[in-house]
Amino acid sequence: MSGEWQRLLAELDALVVAARTCLEQGELPDVAALTRATESLRRQIGRMEVSEGTSAQLQLAAFALGLEGLVEATRRSLARTRDELEACERQRRALAAYRQSGKRP
């Protein structure tokens, strides 16, 4: 495998590890960076010459799938977080209205 492919694989590996670490710690990875890396990977695969080997193509495709999975997991996590925040806000408004009504439990 050429040095360029090894460099690209190392960069992608570091990005995947960093994103997984964020998710494991309950933090959100940089979705924009993951999306850019996935798109860049697709362009690289498209320009890859057959002489550079099918093995490299398969490795890069596997990274692309992993990145896409991380991006989708992050989107789902963001949607859940948004839903939870909206539910908290509804509860906060209901509690405020209850307090203003002067009723006691």
- The C-alpha torsion from 50 through 42 and 65 to 61, rounded to 10°, is 10
Is 89 inside a domain boundary? no
Q: Does a structural domain hold residue 95?
A: no
Asked whether residue 93 is domain-assigned, the answer is no
Q: For residue 105, is pLDDT > 60? A: no
pLDDT tens for each residue of 5-29? 677 777 777 777 777 787 778 777 7
Q: Is 1 helix (H, G, I), strand (E, B) or coil?
A: coil
Query: Does 92 or 1 have the greater pLDDT score?
Result: 92
| 54: confidence class by pLDDT, cuts 50, 70, 90 | low
Higher-scoring residue by pLDDT: 49, 30? 30
Q: Is residue 103 part of a domain?
A: no
The answer to whether residue 72 sits within a structural domain is yes
Position 51 pLDDT exceeds 70: no
User: Is residue 60 included in any domain, yes or no?
Assistant: yes
- Alpha-carbon distance of 27 to 34, in angstroms, equals 14
Domain that holds residue 24: 3-78
Number of domains in the chain: 1
Average pLDDT value for the chain:
75
